[in-house]
Protein backbone atom coordinates (compact mmCIF):
# COMPACT_ATOMS: atom_id res chain seq x y z
CA UNK A 1 0.00 0.00 0.00
CA UNK A 2 1.03 3.58 -0.51
CA UNK A 3 0.64 6.18 2.20
CA UNK A 4 0.54 9.95 2.12
CA UNK A 5 3.85 11.84 2.31
CA UNK A 6 2.48 13.85 5.23
CA UNK A 7 2.87 10.78 7.45
CA UNK A 8 6.66 10.84 7.12
CA UNK A 9 7.36 13.66 9.61
CA UNK A 10 5.03 12.02 12.13
CA UNK A 11 7.13 8.88 12.27
CA UNK A 12 9.90 10.11 14.54
CA UNK A 13 8.40 9.70 17.95
CA UNK A 14 10.62 9.21 20.98
CA UNK A 15 7.55 8.52 23.10
CA UNK A 16 6.48 5.52 21.00
CA UNK A 17 10.07 4.21 21.25
CA UNK A 18 9.89 4.59 25.04
CA UNK A 19 6.65 2.61 25.08
CA UNK A 20 8.42 -0.32 23.42
CA UNK A 21 11.34 0.04 25.87
CA UNK A 22 8.86 0.01 28.81
CA UNK A 23 7.28 -3.21 27.52
CA UNK A 24 10.76 -4.78 27.16
CA UNK A 25 11.79 -3.75 30.67
CA UNK A 26 8.52 -5.13 32.11
CA UNK A 27 9.02 -8.40 30.21
CA UNK A 28 12.46 -8.69 31.90
CA UNK A 29 10.67 -8.53 35.26
CA UNK A 30 11.49 -4.93 36.20
CA UNK A 31 8.84 -2.99 38.07
CA UNK A 32 8.09 0.07 35.92
CA UNK A 33 7.90 3.44 37.66
CA UNK A 34 6.43 5.50 34.85
CA UNK A 35 7.38 9.16 35.25
CA UNK A 36 7.31 9.71 31.49
CA UNK A 37 3.64 10.58 30.93
CA UNK A 38 1.82 13.68 32.12
CA UNK A 39 -1.31 11.70 32.90
CA UNK A 40 -2.87 12.84 36.19
CA UNK A 41 -2.98 9.81 38.51
CA UNK A 42 -5.57 11.23 40.94
CA UNK A 43 -9.25 10.25 40.64
CA UNK A 44 -11.89 12.51 39.07
CA UNK A 45 -13.91 14.23 41.85
CA UNK A 46 -17.11 12.36 42.89
CA UNK A 47 -19.51 15.22 42.03
CA UNK A 48 -18.22 15.15 38.45
CA UNK A 49 -18.61 11.38 38.17
CA UNK A 50 -22.11 11.72 39.62
CA UNK A 51 -23.13 14.22 36.90
CA UNK A 52 -21.83 11.86 34.20
CA UNK A 53 -23.52 8.81 35.77
CA UNK A 54 -26.87 10.64 35.87
CA UNK A 55 -26.48 11.75 32.26
CA UNK A 56 -26.00 8.13 31.17
CA UNK A 57 -29.57 7.40 32.30
CA UNK A 58 -30.96 10.32 30.28
CA UNK A 59 -31.84 9.30 26.70
CA UNK A 60 -31.55 12.95 25.60
CA UNK A 61 -27.76 12.51 25.91
CA UNK A 62 -27.60 9.47 23.66
CA UNK A 63 -27.86 11.05 20.21
CA UNK A 64 -25.50 13.17 18.13
CA UNK A 65 -24.71 16.49 19.74
CA UNK A 66 -24.87 19.60 17.59
CA UNK A 67 -23.37 23.00 18.45
CA UNK A 68 -26.61 24.21 20.07
CA UNK A 69 -26.57 21.17 22.41
CA UNK A 70 -23.44 22.41 24.15
CA UNK A 71 -24.70 25.94 24.91
CA UNK A 72 -24.71 25.29 28.67
CA UNK A 73 -21.10 24.14 28.58
CA UNK A 74 -20.03 27.19 26.56
CA UNK A 75 -21.85 29.47 29.02
CA UNK A 76 -20.09 27.81 31.98
CA UNK A 77 -16.75 28.26 30.20
CA UNK A 78 -17.39 31.96 29.47
CA UNK A 79 -18.48 32.58 33.05
CA UNK A 80 -15.41 30.91 34.54
CA UNK A 81 -13.13 32.75 32.13
CA UNK A 82 -14.66 36.16 32.90
CA UNK A 83 -14.50 35.57 36.66
CA UNK A 84 -10.87 34.52 36.53
CA UNK A 85 -9.41 36.89 33.94
CA UNK A 86 -11.86 39.80 33.79
CA UNK A 87 -12.23 39.75 30.00
CA UNK A 88 -15.83 39.42 28.69
CA UNK A 89 -16.42 36.45 26.38
CA UNK A 90 -19.41 35.72 24.13
CA UNK A 91 -20.26 32.02 24.61
CA UNK A 92 -22.01 31.95 21.23
CA UNK A 93 -19.22 33.18 18.97
CA UNK A 94 -16.03 33.16 21.04
CA UNK A 95 -16.09 29.70 22.65
CA UNK A 96 -15.74 26.27 21.05
CA UNK A 97 -16.11 22.85 22.69
CA UNK A 98 -13.24 20.44 22.04
CA UNK A 99 -12.59 16.73 22.46
CA UNK A 100 -9.53 17.61 24.52
CA UNK A 101 -7.25 20.56 23.84
CA UNK A 102 -4.79 18.38 21.90
CA UNK A 103 -7.52 17.83 19.31
CA UNK A 104 -8.10 21.59 19.00
CA UNK A 105 -4.46 22.65 18.82
CA UNK A 106 -3.74 19.94 16.25
CA UNK A 107 -6.74 20.89 14.07
CA UNK A 108 -6.25 24.67 14.14
CA UNK A 109 -3.33 24.72 11.64
CA UNK A 110 -5.68 23.15 9.04
CA UNK A 111 -7.86 26.24 9.37
CA UNK A 112 -5.02 28.77 9.21
CA UNK A 113 -2.09 27.48 7.15
CA UNK A 114 -1.68 26.92 3.45
CA UNK A 115 1.02 24.42 2.45
CA UNK A 116 4.41 26.09 2.85
CA UNK A 117 3.24 28.74 5.33
CA UNK A 118 5.44 28.98 8.40
CA UNK A 119 4.37 28.23 11.97
CA UNK A 120 6.50 29.54 14.85
CA UNK A 121 6.57 26.80 17.48
CA UNK A 122 8.26 26.48 20.85
CA UNK A 123 11.34 24.25 20.93
CA UNK A 124 11.11 22.28 23.16
CA UNK A 125 7.36 22.06 22.76
CA UNK A 126 4.31 19.88 22.98
CA UNK A 127 4.42 17.23 20.20
CA UNK A 128 0.86 17.74 18.93
CA UNK A 129 1.66 21.37 18.07
CA UNK A 130 4.25 19.99 15.67
CA UNK A 131 1.98 17.19 14.43
CA UNK A 132 -0.85 19.60 13.56
CA UNK A 133 1.45 21.81 11.48
CA UNK A 134 2.87 18.78 9.65
CA UNK A 135 -0.65 17.54 8.83
CA UNK A 136 -1.52 20.96 7.40
CA UNK A 137 1.60 20.94 5.20
CA UNK A 138 3.09 23.90 7.07
CA UNK A 139 6.77 24.62 7.59
CA UNK A 140 8.00 24.79 11.18
CA UNK A 141 10.34 27.45 12.54
CA UNK A 142 11.40 26.28 16.00
CA UNK A 143 11.72 29.15 18.48
CA UNK A 144 14.45 27.98 20.88
CA UNK A 145 13.49 28.23 24.56
CA UNK A 146 16.71 28.56 26.50
CA UNK A 147 17.40 28.57 30.23
CA UNK A 148 19.26 31.90 29.93
CA UNK A 149 16.03 33.49 28.59
CA UNK A 150 13.82 31.86 31.26
CA UNK A 151 12.59 29.50 28.51
CA UNK A 152 10.81 32.35 26.69
CA UNK A 153 11.39 32.82 22.93
CA UNK A 154 13.48 35.77 21.82
CA UNK A 155 11.40 37.28 18.99
CA UNK A 156 14.29 39.46 17.84
CA UNK A 157 16.17 36.35 16.64
CA UNK A 158 13.41 35.35 14.17
CA UNK A 159 14.74 36.17 10.68
CA UNK A 160 12.70 38.73 8.68
CA UNK A 161 12.02 36.38 5.78
CA UNK A 162 10.66 33.77 8.23
CA UNK A 163 8.50 36.35 10.01
CA UNK A 164 7.09 37.50 6.65
CA UNK A 165 6.04 33.93 5.75
CA UNK A 166 4.67 33.12 9.22
CA UNK A 167 0.93 32.73 9.72
CA UNK A 168 0.84 31.10 13.17
CA UNK A 169 2.67 31.35 16.48
CA UNK A 170 2.00 28.85 19.26
CA UNK A 171 2.93 29.61 22.87
CA UNK A 172 2.28 27.50 25.95
CA UNK A 173 2.74 28.87 29.48
CA UNK A 174 2.97 27.41 32.07
CA UNK A 175 5.15 25.43 29.74
CA UNK A 176 5.37 21.72 29.12
CA UNK A 177 8.13 20.49 29.38
CA UNK A 178 10.25 23.29 30.90
CA UNK A 179 7.66 24.32 33.60
CA UNK A 180 8.40 28.02 32.81
CA UNK A 181 5.72 30.66 33.36
CA UNK A 182 5.12 33.91 31.45
CA UNK A 183 4.16 37.47 32.37
CA UNK A 184 1.55 39.73 30.82
CA UNK A 185 4.40 41.90 29.49
CA UNK A 186 5.74 38.92 27.59
CA UNK A 187 2.30 38.19 26.11
CA UNK A 188 2.03 41.85 25.07
CA UNK A 189 5.40 41.59 23.30
CA UNK A 190 4.22 38.42 21.51
CA UNK A 191 1.03 40.19 20.43
CA UNK A 192 3.00 43.17 19.13
CA UNK A 193 5.22 40.87 17.06
CA UNK A 194 2.18 38.99 15.69
CA UNK A 195 0.32 42.25 14.96
CA UNK A 196 3.30 43.56 13.04
CA UNK A 197 3.54 40.43 10.86
CA UNK A 198 -0.17 39.54 10.68
CA UNK A 199 0.30 36.23 12.53
CA UNK A 200 -2.41 34.27 14.39
CA UNK A 201 -1.42 34.02 18.06
CA UNK A 202 -2.26 30.72 19.76
CA UNK A 203 -1.84 30.07 23.45
CA UNK A 204 -2.11 26.52 24.80
CA UNK A 205 -3.15 27.13 28.43
CA UNK A 206 -3.31 23.47 29.54
CA UNK A 207 -1.77 24.27 32.96
CA UNK A 208 -3.78 27.43 33.64
CA UNK A 209 -4.60 26.36 37.19
CA UNK A 210 -1.49 24.29 37.91
CA UNK A 211 0.48 27.22 39.32
CA UNK A 212 2.03 27.07 42.81
CA UNK A 213 1.22 30.63 43.78
CA UNK A 214 -1.87 32.52 44.86
CA UNK A 215 -1.88 34.67 41.74
CA UNK A 216 -3.46 33.38 38.57
CA UNK A 217 -1.21 33.01 35.53
CA UNK A 218 -2.07 35.61 32.84
CA UNK A 219 -4.20 34.67 29.86
CA UNK A 220 -3.23 35.73 26.33
CA UNK A 221 -6.62 37.46 26.02
CA UNK A 222 -5.63 39.84 28.82
CA UNK A 223 -2.99 41.09 26.38
CA UNK A 224 -5.35 40.90 23.39
CA UNK A 225 -8.50 42.15 25.14
CA UNK A 226 -10.26 42.94 21.86
CA UNK A 227 -9.46 39.42 20.61
CA UNK A 228 -7.93 40.79 17.43
CA UNK A 229 -5.86 37.73 16.54
CA UNK A 230 -5.60 35.39 19.52
CA UNK A 231 -7.10 32.07 20.50
CA UNK A 232 -6.49 30.22 23.76
CA UNK A 233 -6.87 26.50 24.46
CA UNK A 234 -7.96 25.03 27.80
CA UNK A 235 -8.37 21.48 29.06
CA UNK A 236 -10.22 19.75 31.88
CA UNK A 237 -7.57 16.99 31.88
CA UNK A 238 -5.19 18.52 34.40
CA UNK A 239 -6.65 20.69 37.19
CA UNK A 240 -10.01 18.88 36.99
CA UNK A 241 -8.59 15.38 36.52
CA UNK A 242 -10.75 14.50 33.50
CA UNK A 243 -7.95 13.39 31.11
CA UNK A 244 -9.59 10.13 30.05
CA UNK A 245 -12.91 11.83 29.35
CA UNK A 246 -11.45 14.06 26.61
CA UNK A 247 -12.88 17.50 27.05
CA UNK A 248 -11.46 20.97 26.51
CA UNK A 249 -12.37 24.28 24.91
CA UNK A 250 -11.06 27.19 22.90
CA UNK A 251 -11.76 30.88 23.59
CA UNK A 252 -10.82 33.75 21.36
CA UNK A 253 -11.26 35.71 18.14
CA UNK A 254 -14.68 34.87 16.64
CA UNK A 255 -13.31 34.34 13.12
CA UNK A 256 -10.70 31.88 14.39
CA UNK A 257 -13.34 30.06 16.44
CA UNK A 258 -15.56 29.86 13.34
CA UNK A 259 -12.71 28.58 11.17
CA UNK A 260 -11.79 25.87 13.69
CA UNK A 261 -15.47 24.94 13.97
CA UNK A 262 -15.58 24.45 10.19
CA UNK A 263 -12.60 22.05 10.29
CA UNK A 264 -14.12 20.14 13.19
CA UNK A 265 -17.51 19.89 11.46
CA UNK A 266 -15.79 17.81 8.80
CA UNK A 267 -14.14 15.56 11.38
CA UNK A 268 -16.28 15.04 14.51
CA UNK A 269 -19.69 15.46 16.13
CA UNK A 270 -18.68 17.20 19.37
CA UNK A 271 -18.17 15.59 22.77
CA UNK A 272 -20.74 13.31 24.46
CA UNK A 273 -23.34 15.36 26.34
CA UNK A 274 -22.82 13.39 29.58
CA UNK A 275 -19.14 14.29 29.63
CA UNK A 276 -20.03 17.93 28.99
CA UNK A 277 -22.36 17.78 32.00
CA UNK A 278 -19.45 16.41 34.05
CA UNK A 279 -17.31 19.27 32.74
CA UNK A 280 -19.98 21.83 33.71
CA UNK A 281 -20.00 20.30 37.21
CA UNK A 282 -16.20 20.70 37.27
CA UNK A 283 -16.27 24.34 36.19
CA UNK A 284 -19.24 25.55 38.24
CA UNK A 285 -19.20 23.20 41.27
CA UNK A 286 -17.04 22.99 44.38
CA UNK A 287 -13.48 24.06 43.47
CA UNK A 288 -11.81 22.64 46.59
CA UNK A 289 -10.55 19.56 44.72
CA UNK A 290 -8.55 21.83 42.38
CA UNK A 291 -6.70 23.28 45.36
CA UNK A 292 -6.22 19.82 46.91
CA UNK A 293 -4.78 18.52 43.65
CA UNK A 294 -2.40 21.46 43.46
CA UNK A 295 -1.27 20.89 47.07
CA UNK A 296 -0.56 17.26 46.25
CA UNK A 297 1.57 18.21 43.24
CA UNK A 298 3.39 20.81 45.31
CA UNK A 299 4.25 18.20 47.98
CA UNK A 300 5.46 15.83 45.28
CA UNK A 301 7.51 18.58 43.66
CA UNK A 302 9.20 19.47 46.96
CA UNK A 303 9.88 15.83 47.83
CA UNK A 304 11.39 15.10 44.41
CA UNK A 305 13.50 18.26 44.10
CA UNK A 306 14.90 17.71 47.64
CA UNK A 307 15.60 14.03 47.03
CA UNK A 308 17.35 14.83 43.74
CA UNK A 309 19.48 17.48 45.50
CA UNK A 310 20.47 14.78 48.01
CA UNK A 311 21.85 12.60 45.23
CA UNK A 312 23.78 15.60 43.86
CA UNK A 313 21.43 16.49 40.97
CA UNK A 314 20.15 20.00 41.44
CA UNK A 315 16.86 20.92 39.69
CA UNK A 316 15.31 24.41 39.84
CA UNK A 317 12.05 24.24 41.81
CA UNK A 318 9.20 24.30 39.26
CA UNK A 319 6.71 27.15 39.83
CA UNK A 320 3.96 25.45 37.80
CA UNK A 321 2.77 22.30 35.97
CA UNK A 322 3.14 18.69 37.12
CA UNK A 323 6.68 18.17 35.86
CA UNK A 324 10.31 18.68 36.76
CA UNK A 325 12.71 19.71 33.97
CA UNK A 326 16.16 18.49 34.84
CA UNK A 327 19.45 19.37 33.15
CA UNK A 328 21.37 16.14 32.66
CA UNK A 329 24.65 15.53 34.47
CA UNK A 330 27.70 16.25 32.30
CA UNK A 331 28.41 12.69 31.18
CA UNK A 332 24.92 12.43 29.62
CA UNK A 333 24.64 16.03 28.47
CA UNK A 334 24.15 15.44 24.77
CA UNK A 335 22.27 12.18 24.88
CA UNK A 336 18.94 12.42 26.62
CA UNK A 337 17.45 9.54 24.60
CA UNK A 338 20.27 7.22 25.61
CA UNK A 339 20.01 8.34 29.23
CA UNK A 340 16.29 7.53 29.34
CA UNK A 341 16.69 4.21 27.54
CA UNK A 342 19.47 3.06 29.89
CA UNK A 343 17.75 4.35 33.01
CA UNK A 344 14.64 2.41 32.05
CA UNK A 345 16.48 -0.78 31.09
CA UNK A 346 18.56 -0.80 34.31
CA UNK A 347 16.11 0.55 36.90
CA UNK A 348 12.56 0.41 35.48
CA UNK A 349 12.21 4.21 35.89
CA UNK A 350 10.74 5.84 32.79
CA UNK A 351 11.39 9.54 32.12
CA UNK A 352 10.98 11.60 28.91
CA UNK A 353 14.04 12.55 26.90
CA UNK A 354 14.28 16.30 26.33
CA UNK A 355 15.20 15.69 22.69
CA UNK A 356 11.74 14.18 22.15
CA UNK A 357 10.28 17.69 22.63
CA UNK A 358 12.63 19.29 20.09
CA UNK A 359 16.32 19.93 19.44
CA UNK A 360 16.58 22.61 22.13
CA UNK A 361 15.29 20.08 24.66
CA UNK A 362 18.51 18.07 24.27
CA UNK A 363 20.51 17.92 27.47
CA UNK A 364 17.41 17.68 29.66
CA UNK A 365 14.92 15.08 30.87
CA UNK A 366 11.36 15.60 32.03
CA UNK A 367 10.05 13.79 35.07
CA UNK A 368 6.25 13.74 35.47
CA UNK A 369 5.38 13.93 39.17
CA UNK A 370 2.65 11.32 38.97
CA UNK A 371 3.59 9.24 42.02
CA UNK A 372 3.43 9.80 45.79
CA UNK A 373 6.22 11.78 47.52
CA UNK A 374 7.56 8.51 48.99
CA UNK A 375 7.71 6.80 45.61
CA UNK A 376 9.36 9.86 44.08
CA UNK A 377 11.98 9.93 46.86
CA UNK A 378 12.71 6.28 46.31
CA UNK A 379 12.91 6.84 42.52
CA UNK A 380 15.42 9.67 43.13
CA UNK A 381 17.59 7.34 45.23
CA UNK A 382 17.55 4.73 42.49
CA UNK A 383 18.47 7.40 39.93
CA UNK A 384 21.35 8.40 42.25
CA UNK A 385 22.71 4.85 42.25
CA UNK A 386 22.33 4.73 38.46
CA UNK A 387 24.22 7.97 37.74
CA UNK A 388 26.80 7.70 40.48
CA UNK A 389 27.62 4.11 39.59
C1 LIG B 1 0.80 21.63 26.63
C2 LIG B 1 -0.28 20.60 26.54
N3 LIG B 1 -1.30 20.79 25.69
C4 LIG B 1 -2.28 19.90 25.57
C5 LIG B 1 -2.27 18.72 26.31
C6 LIG B 1 -3.35 17.73 26.09
O7 LIG B 1 -4.50 18.09 26.75
P8 LIG B 1 -5.86 17.33 26.46
O9 LIG B 1 -5.93 16.17 27.39
O10 LIG B 1 -6.92 18.34 26.71
O11 LIG B 1 -5.87 16.90 25.03
C12 LIG B 1 -1.23 18.48 27.19
C13 LIG B 1 -1.18 17.21 27.96
O14 LIG B 1 -0.20 16.80 28.50
C15 LIG B 1 -0.21 19.44 27.31
O16 LIG B 1 0.83 19.25 28.14
Q: Is residue 381 located within the same domain as residue 233?
A: no
What confidence tens digit (pLDDT) does each residue in 285-310 have? 999 999 999 999 999 999 999 999 99
Q: Is residue 161 located within the same domain as residue 27?
A: no
pLDDT at 10 over 90: no
Q: Is residue 84 located within the same domain as residue 34?
A: no
What confidence tens digit (pLDDT) does each residue in 90-112 have? 999 999 999 999 999 999 999 99
Q: Is residue 292 located within the same domain as residue 213?
A: no
Q: Is residue 276 located within the same domain as residue 330?
A: no
pLDDT at 67 over 90: no
Band the pLDDT of 334: cuts 50, 70, 90: confident
String of b and e for 103-117 (b: at least 16 CB within 10 Å)? bbbbbbbbbbbeeeb
Q: Is residue 136 located within the same domain as residue 78?
A: yes
Q: How many whole angstroms from 357 Cα to the centroid of ligand 1? A: 13
Band the pLDDT of 206: cuts 50, 70, 90: very high
Mean pLDDT of 150-163: 98
Q: Is residue 182 located within the same domain as residue 299?
A: no
Domain CATH code at residue 124: 3.40.640.10
**Mean pLDDT, the chain, integer:** 95
Q: How many whole angstroms from 389 Cα to the centroid of ligand 1? A: 36
User: Ligand 1, residues 102, 107, 361: which to mutate, most atoms within 8 A of Cβ?
Assistant: 102
What confidence tens digit (pLDDT) does each residue in 13-30 have? 777 778 888 999 999 999
Q: Is residue 59 located within the same domain as residue 94?
A: yes
Per-residue confidence (pLDDT) for residue 282, from 0 to 100: 98
Mean pLDDT of 209-214: 93
Mean pLDDT of 22-47: 92
Taking a C-beta distance cutoff of 8 angstroms, is the pair 38, 320 a contact?
no
Range of the domain at 357: 5-43+288-388
Q: Is residue 178 located within the same domain as residue 259?
A: yes
Per-residue confidence (pLDDT) for residue 20, from 0 to 100: 87
Per-residue confidence (pLDDT) for residue 353, from 0 to 100: 95
Task: Report residues whose beta carbon is within 6 angstroms of any ligand 1 atom.
Answer: 38, 100-102, 126, 172, 176, 204, 206, 235, 237, 243, 248
Q: How many whole angstroms from 331 Cα to the centroid of ligand 1? A: 32
Number of domains in the chain: 2
Q: Is residue 135 located within the same domain as residue 206?
A: yes
Q: Is residue 167 located within the same domain as residue 315?
A: no
Residue nearest to atom 16 of ligand 1 (CA): 176
Per-residue confidence (pLDDT) for residue 268, from 0 to 100: 93
Band the pLDDT of 276: cuts 50, 70, 90: very high
Mean pLDDT of 366-372: 97
pLDDT at 389 over 80: no
Mean pLDDT of 257-275: 96
Domain CATH code at residue 23: 3.90.1150.10
pLDDT at 214 over 90: no
pLDDT at 197 over 80: yes
Give the domain-ending residue among 236, 255, 284: 284
Q: Is residue 68 located within the same domain as residue 180?
A: yes
Give the domain-ending residue among 254, 284, 314: 284
Amino acid sequence: MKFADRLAPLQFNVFAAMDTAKAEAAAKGLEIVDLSLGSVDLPTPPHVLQAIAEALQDPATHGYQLFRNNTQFRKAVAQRYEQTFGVPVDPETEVLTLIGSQEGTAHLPLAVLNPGDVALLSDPGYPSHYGGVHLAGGEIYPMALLAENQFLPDFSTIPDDIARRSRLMVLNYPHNPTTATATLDFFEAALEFCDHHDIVLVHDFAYDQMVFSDQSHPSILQADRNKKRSIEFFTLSKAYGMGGFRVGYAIGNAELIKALKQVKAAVDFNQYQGILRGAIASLTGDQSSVKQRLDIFQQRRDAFVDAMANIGWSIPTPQATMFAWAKLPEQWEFDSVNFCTELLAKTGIAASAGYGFGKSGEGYVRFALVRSPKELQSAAQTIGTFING
